[in-house]
Structure 1
Amino acid sequence: MTIEQQDFYTQTILSLAALVGLTSFLMLGQGRLLRLIFVFAVQGLLLTLTTALAAYSLNNPHLYISAVLNLVLKVIFIPWMLRREVIQMNTHRDIEALNNNTMVMLGGASLMVFSYYVLHPIVQTTSPVMLNALALSLSVVLLGMLLMISHRQAVAHVVGFMSIENGLFFAAIVATKGMPMVVELGVAFDVLVAAVLFGIFFFHIRTSIDSLDVDLLNKLHEVDK
């Protein structure tokens, strides 16, 4: 069955899944931190639209609460917090020199192909939306890990960590047709706590080395008093 023969919900979910995967791929090549944060906010908006669409199509009203929480945390609060840190450190105009950017992008493309290759034998008997949703979710998780490995800035590491959570959240919404309300509230609370802890982490790094470049932490050493 081709995508044109699918219902509106399936077509829209497949389109949103492709866009979520594209945003994760775009984050790998971003050198400017503000652009990276913007792409992350766009990914959060896509997840919000996915959750709202699932709530409407599956007649699951509590998913609207998840959509609102996702909008507040991942589209507004966390990007605002990261943007404020970048501007306070005066690094919003700096371009991070990625180590072998071409290899990083090729590695990201390979991970997306690998995700489909691994999951296709497992879920080939299910619907196309299940296969694509799980494959894209796995690729988003792997690309988030690659983002954390390939970038030096602590802000990029936070975005990579949150992107991993986005991939898991997308799989949970699409594959399970909505998690129990208590689980969704627990996930939202964990994300909020992580954001607060990252803010404290940024503050201590900024006061210690006056930079968010984690490579500089290797130069720290104890001083005998």
Structure 2
Amino acid sequence: MDRFVLDFAHMLAGFMVLVSFMLLYQDRMFSLLNVFALQALVLAASVAWQAHVQAAPHLYVTAAIALVLKAIIIPLVLRRVVVRLGIHRNIETVGGIGLTMLFGMGLVALAMVVMLRATAAADPLAREDLAFALSVVLLGLLMMVTRRNAVSQIVGFMSLENGLILAATGAKGMPLVVEISVAFSVLVALIVIGVFLFRIRERFDSVDVHALDESRGERP
């Protein structure tokens, strides 16, 4: 396979990991949503490149879904939710940004070591992309664990799902019906999450999960 094809695919996947670290670094809500839109844009570009390399036209549909749904619609919806709930402020983290970034680097190193060894006999294009994809998944999970704000945890979940899409397309893609059903499920989940956020705000006057723990008597 042409070296440029491999390098460009790996550059896009690696940039997704970099943007995942940018997500972990953000401490303002609107900045977080802007960076998530950037990650979705990079994902769309990566999937479109995989569609070209693999000669798989159905992956262009996946790229279009990522571009329209995740880079445009979801950030706009979450931005409106943030404005309506009045939560555009600093994002509280567990342990601080610095410690979270260090732990994230450890997770990326672990993902690289495990995945590159487990896929030693795999196709060169898929091998590194799977390692990058696992890194994005783990960083998304880390964001969900270390953020106290429910909206930022939603962004972490969406970032995790972006990593899964990167892994699926790098490993010769998914059937088109699966891609469409996943996109529909994400859209439905976003609607349900929005309803729960408003209900939580009405009930507890906050979307900080720390406040929910205190309401259950689980004070640290």
Distance 1:72 1:118 in 2: 33
Specify the alignment match of 1:214 in structure 2: 209
Q: CA deviation at 1:6?
A: 4.3
What do residues 131-152 of structure 1 show as CA deviations (whole Å, max 9, x unaligned)? 2211111111111111011111
Are positions 1:65 and 2:61 aligned together?
Answer: yes
> Could you tell me which of 113, 116, 119 is aligned with 1:120?
116
CA–CA separation in structure 1 for the residues paired with 2:130 and 2:195? 34
- How far the C-alpha of 1:167 sits from its partner, in A, is 0.6
**Cα root mean square deviation, aligned:** 1.8
Shift of 1:101: 2.2
Aligned to 2:104: 108
Structure 1 residue 76: Cα displacement: 1.0
Report the equivalent of 1:12. Answer: 8
Which deviates more from structure 2 when the two are superposed, residues 56-65 or residues 164-173?
56-65
Map 1:29-178 to 2 at 5 A: 29-92=25-88, 94-98=89-93, 99-176=95-172, 178=173
The 1-side partners of 2:111 and 2:58 are apart by 30
AA aligned opposite 2:152: A
The alpha carbon displacement at 1:29 in A equals: 1.5
Task: Give the whole-Å Cα distance in 1 for the aligned partners of 2:152 and 2:195.
Answer: 16
Aligned residue for 1:60, secondary structure, equals: coil
- Shift in Å at residue 211 of structure 1? 2.0
TM-score between the two structures when normalised by the length of structure 2:
0.92
In the alignment, the residues of structure 1 paired with residue 216 and residue 25 of structure 2 have an alpha-carbon distance, to the nearest angstrom, of: 32
Paired with 2:2 and 2:119, the residues of 1 have a C-alpha distance of 18
* Cα offsets for 1:60-114 (capped at 9, x unmatched): 222222221111210111111111111222332x222433322111100000000
Question: Aligned to 1:115, what secondary structure does the other structure show?
Answer: helix
Give the AA of the match of 1:196.
I
**Matched residue type, 2:194:** G
| Matching residue's letter, 1:181 | L
Distance in 2 (alpha carbons) for counterparts of 1:47 and 1:111: 20
Query: What residue number does 1:198 align with?
Result: 193
Q: Name stretches of at least 5 consecutive residues in structure 2 with no aligned partner.
A: none
Moved more, 39-48 or 6-15: 6-15
Give the structure with higher Rg (CA).
1
Distance in 2 (alpha carbons) for counterparts of 1:194 and 1:205: 16
State how far apart, in whole Å, the 1-side matches of 2:116 and 2:189 are: 33
Tell me the residue number matched to 1:28: 24
Deviations 1:16-50 (A, max 9, x none): 01100011111112110111111111111111111
Identity %, equivalent residues:
42
